[in-house]
Structure formats: structure tokens, C-alpha cells
Structure 1
Amino acid sequence: MPIDRNHVSDNLRPDMVGTDGPTPDPPERDPRRWKALILLCMTGFMVILDSQIVILALPSIERDLAVSASASQWVLSAYMLAFGGLLLFGGRLADLRGRRLMFIVGTALFLVSSLLCGLAWSMGVLIAGRVVQGVSAALLAPTALAILMTMFPEGPERNKALAFWSGVGGIGATSALLIGGPITDTLGWQWIFFINVPVAIGMLVFAPILLLESRNDGPRAYDPAGALTSTLGLVLLTGAIVWAPTRGWASGAVLGMLLGAVLLLGLFVVIERRSAAPLLPLRIFQSRLFVGGNLAMILFAMTTLGMSVSVTAYAQRVLGYTSMEFGLGMIAMTLMTLVGAWAGQAGVTKVGFRPVAAAAAVLMGLGAFLLSQVSVQGTYFGDLFPGLLVFGLGLGAGPVAAISAALSSVEPDVTGVASGATNSGFQIGGALGAALISAVVVSRGGDSTAPEQMTEGFRAGFAADLVIALACLIVALTLLRPLTRQSSGDGAAVDPTEARRR
């Protein structure tokens, strides 16, 4: 019997299917889903925005709170540590306790922590607020993505929803550089936190109205040993990556954290293998698409944050741009990210994950190559604009394909923790990319005061970003290749659940 191309599962899209076979009927569509998507995308936007918007505000925070530059870095690091360390546990809580409930809890924490950060009268209070803000993000990010997967049935609609989610997330990353500087310069650094308050109130009002409640129907077993080891392991890993650029990869503190992370995450795997109700069911790693999608997401994040480090420093230190001027210059890349996300969702639906992810890696690599040609006497349109345009297209399309591939083979009862793993990969990948590119830039003279040496360092940083993009291309071509449906002896098609494991 020929496959109905309009109702085939995302896991077995035409690009992934080799032989004919029956497909399940699509689930009933929720009429609120598109309005709910606006709320979910706003959540993703704010989570990504708050991870980076403080970057351009750090000098003002240092002056107002009378702290050193090294102390102010904790404003950024505290959020990243709490966010990256608790993503798996946050996703699993959503699976077990209810995704809408955890979304509301996370939003309430987001509201309180944003107020605390904006009203902070000391560095200790501000860092504490950022920790709570990171905890709220660890609840919100995987929960929102899991709700999206629940409300949108497999197929073109889910691809479009994921495109909006990814595109808005990419805009959040670029908007942090776009609006962080102007808000700090005009209203004060406190307002980069206060702007979250009305957004959080709106989220609290509309979440009970628009979002479906869903949870795992199985027993509520929380796997405390797995939660503890994974959280501590991810915190140590994220901390090592965040502090490596300033303390050095060979420093005792960084090496100690890396060793601790390896031991704890190894112990986590042992615990999960033996647990009757694991925090992260290891069977999901049997899926090549889940592994490949997450690796691609890590590399896309590395490329994106690595490029941001170099382009921000080059524009301000070599070209002499103010934070507001640089933010306005990022509008072009932000718009192209939207275009890329829309094109990416259409491509995933029509041709599959691999071609879209590969094309995105090529575009980001080409953008990095164009940026690697920057000069000491450079101009925005001559040195930055072409590279930002091309890079933005890839940034919009790549995460759409990576997320779609990673979550296409995940069973409904673990969408929360699987979404947490994907978000964790993005956070760790971003931190690792920023750390590695910073190290390359510094090693080639990027911390010099001479414009020529600084430019040479930034060129090397963009070139290293190109290498990461090429690694992403290899992952896309090898691990995101189409699934093939094999037939049993009587000619019946393999069950889709079995196909997910290939």
C-alpha cells in the first residue's frame, strides 16, 4: 500500500522512508496551538535574551556596585551554571509533575528573580538573583519545548512551530547585543532586568488559558541519585568552560572541575543503567537522529557564540563602535535569522533534516570566512555586513533542523527531559564555543592594544569558527542521513517505534 505523503510521521518523512508501509492517523489538533506558540516562543526568546543581555551592561554594573571586572563576570556565570546544570532535572520534573504546572512555576521564579536583580543593592544580591533566574530558565526552556511538541502533531505544522521557536531563539541571541547596550546607556543596567517583569506577568496570565497540561502517565519516580550527579556534573563542566578563558585550560581549578565533571557524569551513566525509573532513559541515545541532532546543536551553538565573541570585540575595539552603534549593526543579522528559520522549516518538511542542517553549516562557515577577512581600517558594509547576512541565514535554519532531528525519535513520555538535553547541549556548546574562540583570539594577539595585532587575533577567531562549522557539516552529512524502513519476512513494514532506534 503506498504511503500517504500528507500523513506520514515526521520520524518517517518521505526523505527518511525507503519502502511503503502503513502510517498512524494524525492526532487531533488543538485549536489554541498557534496562540500558545506565541507564548512559548516569547518564553524561549526571554530565556536566551537573559543569558547574554548582561554582557554589554557589565561595565556599568562594575561602576555602580564598585566591584572588579572579575567579580562582575559572576553575573553572567551564575546564570549559566544554574541554567546549564539543572536543565535535565527541570525537563524531568515537567514530565512527571506536569508541563504546564512547571511552566507556571518557572515563570513565577522568573518574575521574582528579575525584580530581585533589578533592585539589587550589592553584587551578592545580584548574583543570587541571577542564580534563581537560571533555575527558572532551566524549568522554562525544556518545558516550553516539550509543550510545543505535545500541542503540535508530527508533520509540517510541527516543523513550522519549531522554526518559529528556533528563529525567535536566534533573534533572542542577537537581540541581546541589539538592545542591551541602548537600554544600559539610556535607562540604566537595572532595566535589562525590569523589562522582564511585564512579560512574566503576561505569561502567568495566559499560560493557564492557552497551554495544555500533559505529563508522563507512569509512576512518579524522581531518581535523586541521577538528578544529583547530572546536576553537579553539568555545573562543573559548564564552570570549567566558562572560566577557562580567564584562568587557562591548564590551571588547577579548571582541570579539577573537568575531572570532577567526567567522574560525576560517568557515575550518572552507571546510575541510569541500573535505575528502574531513570532521570534520562539511556535508550533515547540509541537513536542516531537524537545523537546527531544534539551534536549538530552543540556545534551550531559553538559557531554562533564563537562568532559573537569575535565580532563584538572587533567592532568595539578596532572599529571603535559604541554598544548602541554595534547593536544597531546587528539588525541585518537578526532579520536574516528570521528568513533562515522560515526557509529551514520549509526545507525540513520537503527535503528532510540532513540537507537543511548541511546547508546551514555551509552558510555559517561561509559567513565566518567572510568575517575572517576583516581589516584594521575596516568599515561596517565593507567588512561586517556581508558576513553577518550569510551567517544569519545559517543561524536561522540550522537549529530548526537540529531540534527537529533530535526530537523526532523521542517517545512522548520523555519529551521534557529530551528537550532539556537538547537545551543543555546548546548552552554547553555556546559556552564552549565562546571559550575556545576567546582562547584563539588571545593567543594570536587579540588582547593587545595595537590595532594590527588585535585584528590578527580576531581573524584567527573567525577562522577557528569556520573549522567548527565544517565539523558541523560532517555531523550533518553522516548522522542525519535518512532512515530506511526495512521489511519483515512477510513484507510488512517495520513498526515506527523500531525505526526510531536506527
Structure 2
Amino acid sequence: MNLGRMKSRAAAPPRPGAALAALAAAQFTVMLATSIVNVALPQIRSGVGLSDGGTTWVVNAYGLAFGALLLAGGRAGDLLGRRRVLLVGLAVFAGASLAAGLAGSPGLLIAARAVQGAGAAAIAPAALALALDLFPPGPGRGRALGVWGAVSGAGGAGGVLLGGVLTQAWGWPWVFHAVALGTALVAIAVVALVPRAADRGSGRFDLLGTATVTLALTALVWGLTTARGAGWTDAGVLAALLGAVVLLVLFALVERRRPDALIPPRLFRTGRVAAGNLLMALLGSVWIALFFFLPLYQQQVLGMGPLATGAGQLPLAVANMLGAMVAPRITARIGATATLTAALLTEAAGLLWLSWMRPDGSYLVDVLGPSVLVGLGLSIAFVQLTALAVDGVPRQDAGLAGGLVNTTRQVGGAVGLAALATLAGSVTAHATTDRPPLDALTAGYQAAFTVSAAILATTALLAVALTRTSRRDRGLAPPAAPARAVQPGQGQTADRAPAS
């Protein structure tokens, strides 16, 4: 009997909490790389010789490769093994980060950022799928998704802080070297703490679908980014946008006829995956832009240095982590739909407050208060939408579902950054004809934050319409088990699982 107990203990997954910490660290690293360069952009621009368009591509190259390849990364994890794909992604990510820090020309830097994004596309969906495997639907998964939301938001805000510290202390290359070192440590933790699992699936990899959607997303973001300098009527911009539409239509036609489609129809059988991804795309469209414009306003208008700018993101990061950790309790009290709607409106209020920033403003008056509102709303909304987007998905498609929700957030962010940067640049260029430079620059940022607030207010209205579809959305259990409260992230109960 004792021997049997020993074998049982040896076969059990070691310390799910420790494994979750390692996986959350991988997610933190991915989100960190999204924003850590933002404070260092002025120094990177002068150090490598970047143009205005090239500066934007330091951010967009990572976001575009990340978003365009996330579906492929999620599917690869389902077919080849999620732990294996996660470790390969971490190795690619670390190598590209090191190369970016050593880059001496704009082309090499942007290329390294794109490869870094490709590595992140393997990391994010595999890490999320492994975390979902550790915690089946129930209160434990709700708490795990709260941790996931906390580290995701903290990675975005913490990247600005760490970027400021490293840039001021050792120069911009260390923004990338530190990420490379941290990624290597995360890989060691994954090897030591995340259990091996026989998680390979069946089927073939959809190369045609992957190539088609990647080209479509590349054309779309390139067209939006180029429009900032060339104008919306430029022939190249119009050709890129038209090509993106044609490729997306072709992708949809190709996927309908393939037995091993990159996005199989079964993923949407619950009706909740589509809603979660649509809302996540809208949230993502303002997420990355926030961490792009806010540090620029602090540095270029308020005159704050890199270190002070980074430290100024601490309240946002703390609010973000606090919101993610309390999201499960709020949802248990008022329900998922009400929680999501309130979170989106809270973030929208913070962005609207930021749109009132002044060229002669100050951090305490123009940045601190709205940053706290944005941090709280962003984290709670992220937890709710991640749970919604993986709700009821069959286990064999968990990696793909994780890849899809990360794709919609990241691609939404890349498209949103391109569009909002174009808007801000156009407003600033128009305002420079009759206003001082700082006033014109602030006008561009005001326009970007105003549109961002409008997008989130619209998203809140859509959330009410798309998520109030069952008793579970009101935080209640199905009629068969009226005493059980559904926690955030709980896609089903043990006594009533959705068909798959």
C-alpha cells in the first residue's frame, strides 16, 4: 500500500502553484517586451538612426509578428506538445532579444524585433493552455486567470518602469539584454517546475491558412502605419489595404474547405468564444497605444526623464495587479456581464480624463488619477475576456483558443496603434500651422485618447449585448445546481458540461 502511494505521488503533477508561477513569468516576459522599448524610443532613435516611421516599427514589428503567428503557435502547441513549443519559443525569444540589443542599424533592430515577436507567438498560447490544464473549470481556474491578468497588466506597465531604469542607468541596449537574461531564467523555471504531459494532438498543420492570414495581417498593419506619413490616398497604402481585404476573404474561403483548418468551426460551438475574441480585439486596440502615447507625453511634453517616466507607471501597474486579483470576488457578487461592463467603462473614463491633458500640465494633475482608473479597468476586463474566450473549449483545442484570444488582442493592438498614431500625427501636423509645438503635440495625444475612450465605451455596450446569454453570465449556476456560484473563468460545472 505504501509503495502504491509513493507511485501515485510520483505520477501527480508537482506543485500546480509553482508551475503556474513559471508559466505566468513566461506571460509576463512576453507582455514586458511589448512596452519596455517605449520609454527608450527617443534614445533608440538617435542611437540607431531611425526615422519617425522606423520608430513606430520598433513597436509594430514585434506586435505584428506576434499577432500574425499566434494562431500558428497555438496550433503547433496542440500538435507537437505545449511544453516543448513553449521552450522553443523561449529560446527564440531570448536569442532575438540579445540580437536586438546588439543591433547597429535600423534594419537589424526591426528584424530582431520581428523574430522576438515570432518567439512570443509560440510562448503565449502554450503557456496559457498549460495553465488551463493545471486548473480545471472552477474556483481554482478563476484565481489562476486572476494571476494571469495581473502579470499581463503588470508586464505592460512594468515594462515602462524597467525600460526607464535600464535606459537611464546603462543605455537602451540593456532594455533588450535584460529581457534576454530574464527569458533564460524563465526557461530554467519551466524545465524545473512545469510537468511533462502527453499533450500531442492529431491532425496536420494548416500551412496555407497560416500563410494567407499572416500576409493579410502584415498588409493591413503596413498600410495603416505607412498612411501616417504618405497619406490615405497614397497608391501604396491603398494597395496594401485592398490586398489585406482580398487575403482575408481568401483565408475565410480556404478555411471552410480544409479538414485541418487553422481556425476550425468547432472552436465556436459554444457561441462565447467569438464574443470574447471580438471584445478582446477592441480592448487590445487601445491597450498597446496607451503604453505608446503616455510615456511620450510624459517625456516630450512634461519633460520627464526616462527614470521618472518609468516610475510614473507604478500606480498604473499596482492598480492593474489589484484589479486582476479582486476580479473573481467582484464577479461572484455582481456577475460576469456587470463586472466586464463596469471595467470597460472605468477604463474609458480614465482615457477620457487623459484626453484633457495640457501642454503645461503636470504628472500629479494630468497623469496619476487617470492612470489608476485605466489600470483597474484594464486588468478586470482582461480577466473576464480571457475567461470568456476559452469558455467551453475542448481540451485538444486549448492551445488554439489561447492563441486566438492572444491574436485578437495583439492584432487589435497593432491595428489600433497604427490607426491612432496616424490620427495623432495628422492632428499634430494640422495644429502646427497656428499653435506652438508642444500645444500641437498635445493636441495629437488628446485626439488619440479621446478616440480610445469612445472605442471602449462602444465595447461596453457590445459586452452587454453579447455576453448576457445565459444564467451563468449573472454569476448563477445552472438550474440543476442552484447552490453553486460560478467563478470567473468557469466555463462549465462538473454536472453540466457543454457539448463539444
With normalisation by structure 2, the TM-score equals 0.86
3-state SS in 1 of match to 2:39: helix
Match status 1:259 vs 2:274:
no
Match status 1:311 vs 2:298:
no
Match of 1:414 among 397, 404, 411: 397
Residue deviations 1:9-51, cap 9 Å, x none?
Answer: xxxxxxxxxxxxxxxxxxx984421111111111111111112
Task: Report the alpha carbon displacement of residue 351 of structure 1 after superposing the two structures with TM.
Answer: 4.2
> Whole-Å Cα distance in 2 between the matches of residues 156 and 257 of structure 1?
46
Structure 1 residue aligned with 2:101: 118
Distance 1:376 1:219, change over 3 A: closer
Decide whether the 8 Å contact of 2:275 with 2:389 is kept in 1: yes
Q: Please list, as runs of the form range in 1=range in 2, the aligned pairs for 1:232-271 lying within 5 A after superposition.
A: 232-271=215-254
Q: Please list, as runs of the form range in 1=range in 2, the aligned pairs for 1:186-205 lying within 5 A after superposition.
A: 186-205=169-188
Task: Report the alpha carbon displacement of residue 383 of structure 1 after superposing the two structures with TM.
Answer: 2.0
Task: Report the alpha carbon displacement of residue 191 of structure 1 after superposing the two structures with TM.
Answer: 0.7
> Whole-Å Cα distance in 2 between the matches of residues 161 and 316 of structure 1?
36
Match status 1:373 vs 2:356:
yes
> Whole-Å Cα distance in 2 between the matches of residues 403 and 225 of structure 1?
28
Select between 258-267 and 165-174 the one with higher mean Cα deviation.
Answer: 258-267
Match status 1:155 vs 2:142:
no
Decide whether the 8 Å contact of 2:390 with 2:401 is kept in 1: yes
Distance 1:344 1:242, change over 3 A: farther
> Whole-Å Cα distance in 1 between the matches of residues 79 and 405 of structure 2?
18
Task: Report the alpha carbon displacement of residue 286 of structure 1 after superposing the two structures with TM.
Answer: 4.0
Match status 1:460 vs 2:457:
no
Decide whether the 8 Å contact of 2:29 with 2:183 is kept in 1: no
Select between 97-106 and 312-321 the one with higher mean Cα deviation.
Answer: 312-321
Distance 1:47 1:278, change over 3 A: same
Match status 1:130 vs 2:113:
yes
Distance 1:159 1:350, change over 3 A: farther
> Whole-Å Cα distance in 1 between the matches of residues 72 and 321 of structure 2?
31
Match status 1:477 vs 2:469:
no
Distance 1:256 1:370, change over 3 A: same
Task: Report the alpha carbon displacement of residue 153 of structure 1 after superposing the two structures with TM.
Answer: 1.1
Distance 1:248 1:422, change over 3 A: farther
Distance 1:184 1:360, change over 3 A: same
3-state SS in 1 of match to 2:498: helix
> Whole-Å Cα distance in 2 between the matches of residues 327 and 132 of structure 1?
26
Residue deviations 1:318-357, cap 9 Å, x none?
Answer: 3222222221111111110011111213234454431221
Task: Report the alpha carbon displacement of residue 453 of structure 1 after superposing the two structures with TM.
Answer: 3.7
Give the paired residue count: 467
The residue type paired with residue 15 of structure 2 is R
> Whole-Å Cα distance in 1 between the matches of residues 232 and 256 of structure 2?
32
Residue deviations 1:95-127, cap 9 Å, x none?
Answer: 000000001111111222222222234333333
Match of 1:37 among 20, 40, 49: 20
> Whole-Å Cα distance in 2 between the matches of residues 343 and 249 of structure 1?
44
The residue type paired with residue 168 of structure 2 is D
The residue type paired with residue 419 of structure 1 is G
Select between 92-101 and 208-217 the one with higher mean Cα deviation.
Answer: 208-217
Distance 1:442 1:116, change over 3 A: closer
With normalisation by structure 1, the TM-score equals 0.86
Structure 1 residue aligned with 2:498: 497
Structure 2 residue aligned with 1:302: 285
3-state SS in 2 of match to 1:56: coil
The residue type paired with residue 80 of structure 1 is G
> Whole-Å Cα distance in 2 between the matches of residues 438 and 193 of structure 1?
24
> Whole-Å Cα distance in 2 between the matches of residues 216 and 281 of structure 1?
19
Decide whether the 8 Å contact of 1:156 with 1:349 is kept in 2: no
Unaligned runs of at least 5 residues, structure 2: 1-10, 472-477, 481-493
Decide whether the 8 Å contact of 1:229 with 1:264 is kept in 2: yes
> Whole-Å Cα distance in 1 between the matches of residues 103 and 445 of structure 2?
35
Decide whether the 8 Å contact of 1:87 with 1:424 is kept in 2: yes
Residue deviations 1:233-285, cap 9 Å, x none?
Answer: 22223333444433434433332222222222222222222112222112323
Decide whether the 8 Å contact of 2:35 with 2:292 is kept in 1: no
The ranges of structure 1 where at least 4 consecutive aligned residues each deviate by more than 6 angstroms after the TM superposition are none
Q: Please list, as runs of the form range in 1=range in 2, the aligned pairs for 1:58-137 lying within 5 A after superposition.
A: 58-137=41-120
Select between 100-109 and 65-74 the one with higher mean Cα deviation.
Answer: 65-74
> Whole-Å Cα distance in 2 between the matches of residues 451 and 122 of structure 1?
30
Structure 2 residue aligned with 1:178: 161
Task: Report the alpha carbon displacement of residue 215 of structure 1 after superposing the two structures with TM.
Answer: 6.1
Task: Report the alpha carbon displacement of residue 495 of structure 1 after superposing the two structures with TM.
Answer: 6.1
The residue type paired with residue 205 of structure 1 is I
Structure 2 residue aligned with 1:12: none
Distance 1:120 1:218, change over 3 A: closer
Q: Please list, as runs of the form range in 1=range in 2, the aligned pairs for 1:335-354 lying within 5 A after superposition.
A: 335-354=318-337
3-state SS in 2 of match to 1:222: coil
Distance 1:311 1:205, change over 3 A: closer
> Whole-Å Cα distance in 1 between the matches of residues 353 and 50 of structure 2?
38
> Whole-Å Cα distance in 1 between the matches of residues 94 and 200 of structure 2?
30
> Whole-Å Cα distance in 1 between the matches of residues 21 and 158 of structure 2?
17
The residue type paired with residue 61 of structure 2 is A
> Whole-Å Cα distance in 2 between the matches of residues 187 and 457 of structure 1?
31
> Whole-Å Cα distance in 2 between the matches of residues 457 and 110 of structure 1?
34
Task: Report the alpha carbon displacement of residue 411 of structure 1 after superposing the two structures with TM.
Answer: 1.1
3-state SS in 1 of match to 2:296: helix
> Whole-Å Cα distance in 2 between the matches of residues 495 and 345 of structure 1?
21
Match of 1:444 among 427, 439, 460: 427
Decide whether the 8 Å contact of 1:159 with 1:348 is kept in 2: no
Structure 2 residue aligned with 1:278: 261
> Whole-Å Cα distance in 1 between the matches of residues 351 and 112 of structure 2?
35
The residue type paired with residue 75 of structure 2 is R
> Whole-Å Cα distance in 2 between the matches of residues 248 and 282 of structure 1?
38
Structure 2 residue aligned with 1:15: none
Distance 1:177 1:223, change over 3 A: same
Select between 139-148 and 166-175 the one with higher mean Cα deviation.
Answer: 166-175
Q: What value does the CA root-mean-square deviation take over the aligned residues?
A: 2.6
Task: Report the alpha carbon displacement of residue 373 of structure 1 after superposing the two structures with TM.
Answer: 2.5
> Whole-Å Cα distance in 2 between the matches of residues 299 and 280 of structure 1?
20
3-state SS in 1 of match to 2:103: coil
Distance 1:248 1:419, change over 3 A: farther
Decide whether the 8 Å contact of 1:357 with 1:401 is kept in 2: yes
